[in-house]
């Protein structure tokens, strides 16, 4: 683990929950939870209180807790499979929450250079409260309750330059709510190119709602739910961008 907080110069003296106490209390998971962090293999964790020691108490109990509290009403509704309309402000809050979790997972291992830069980690905090440039986020509905947290790398070439862009994909599942975020880093020479890597085929336009960038209100749930097996399985979502190398 890092000796310095991921989000400030203070030393690490606190651990961030992947799933907060109120989520675990509400959903009462009876089965082991699927977690994939850094370069570990897939793991089923019996203790749902997954904590990553990579932050300081001031950040964890301050702005990070505030972001969690601001997202609690709409996350709670969706994880319990209740219909909800997310306005632009709520969509940005949810995107920042998901990317915060992505940054914590991303910075949890010493065996790799973190994808997210210190500038991006600083920017997600108030007062800037920015979503990293080159990010996109989607939400979907799972037909059953589940938990999952994982990251995947994706790479692509531009004009015969291999690995001209590098993307980090994070998939989070909380009850009936599935969230996926993708952040892209592009070589400076291609920074003016609008880049989006090709994903695997799927009914993404009907089983996912785009929440970042924001295009008006988002009416959750989407028309089609993810299932445990089949063409529209949650596994297909997790592996949607899996065309490069795993980081988790």
List pLDDT tens digits, range 40-62. Answer: 444 444 455 566 788 999 999 99
Determine, yes or no, domain membership for 228: yes
Determine, yes or no, domain membership for 223: yes
Confidence bin at 96 (pLDDT 50/70/90): very high
Number of domains present in the structure of the chain: 1
Across the chain, mean pLDDT equals 85
| Per-residue tokens: 209 | 């709602």
- Report the C-alpha gap between 133 and 185 in whole angstroms: 9
Model pTM score: 0.87
Q: Which residues contact 106 (CB under 8 A, 6 or more apart)?
A: 114, 115, 116, 151, 168, 170, 247
Determine, yes or no, domain membership for 146: yes
Determine, yes or no, domain membership for 119: yes
Determine, yes or no, domain membership for 35: yes
Q: Collapse the DSSP code of 235 into the 3-class scheme (helix H, G, I; strand E, B; otherwise coil) and give the result.
A: helix
Locus of tokens 């609690």:
72
Kindly report the backbone phi and psi dihedral angles of residue 130, in degrees, each rounded to the nearest multiple of 5, phi listed first: -95, 145
Determine, yes or no, domain membership for 187: yes
Segment 136-188, tens digit of pLDDT: 999 999 998 888 888 888 888 777 888 888 889 999 999 999 999 999 998 88
For residue 115, the enclosing domain spans 14-238
Determine, yes or no, domain membership for 229: yes
Where do the DSSP E strands lie in the chain? Answer: 14-17, 33-35, 43-45, 51-55, 84-86, 135-158, 161-186, 209-212, 218-220
Burial-class residue 165 by CB neighbours within 10 Å (0-12, 13-18, 19+): buried
- Report the C-alpha gap between 80 and 177 in whole angstroms: 8
Q: State the pLDDT at residue 154.
A: 85
Lowest mean pLDDT of 11-15, 110-114, 194-198, 230-234, name the range.
Answer: 194-198
Determine, yes or no, domain membership for 4: no
């Amino acid at each position: 683990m890092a000796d310095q907080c991921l989000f400030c110069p203070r030393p690490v003296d606190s651990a961030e929950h992947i799933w907060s106490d109120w989520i675990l209390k509400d959903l009462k998971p009876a089965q082991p939870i699927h977690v994939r962090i850094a370069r570990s293999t897939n793991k089923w964790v019996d203790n749902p209180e997954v904590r990553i020691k990579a932050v300081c108490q001031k950040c964890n109990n301050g702005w990070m807790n505030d972001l969690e509290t601001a997202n609690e009403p709409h996350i709670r509704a969706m994880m319990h499979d209740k219909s909800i309309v997310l306005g632009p402000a709520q969509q940005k809050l949810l995107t920042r929450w998901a990317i915060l979790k992505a940054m914590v997972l991303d910075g949890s291992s010493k065996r790799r250079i973190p994808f997210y830069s210190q500038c991006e980690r600083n920017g997600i905090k108030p007062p800037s409260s920015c979503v990293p440039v080159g990010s996109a986020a989607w939400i979907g509905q799972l037909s059953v309750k589940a938990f999952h947290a994982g990251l995947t790398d994706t790479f692509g070439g531009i004009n015969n330059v291999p690995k001209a862009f590098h993307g980090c994909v994070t998939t989070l599942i909380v009850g009936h709510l599935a969230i996926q975020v993708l952040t892209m880093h592009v070589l400076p020479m291609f920074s003016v190119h609008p880049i989006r890597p090709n994903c695997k085929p799927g009914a993404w336009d009907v089983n996912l709602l785009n929440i970042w960038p924001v295009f008006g209100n988002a009416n959750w749930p989407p028309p089609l739910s993810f299932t445990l097996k089949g063409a529209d399985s949650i596994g297909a979502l997790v592996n949607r961008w899996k065309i490069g190398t795993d980081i988790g």
